[in-house]
Amino acid sequence: MGINEAVRKTSNSVLIDVEVVPGADKESISFDPWRKRIKLKVKGKALKNEANNDVLSFFSKLFDRKVKIFSGEHSRKKTVFIENINPDDAAGKIGEMVK
pLDDT tens digits, residue range 55-73?
999 999 999 999 999 999 9
Q: How far is CA 95 from CA 44, 47, 48, 50, in A?
A: 23, 29, 30, 25
Of the chain, the percentage scoring pLDDT greater than 90 comes to: 94
For 2-98, which CATH class?
A: alpha beta
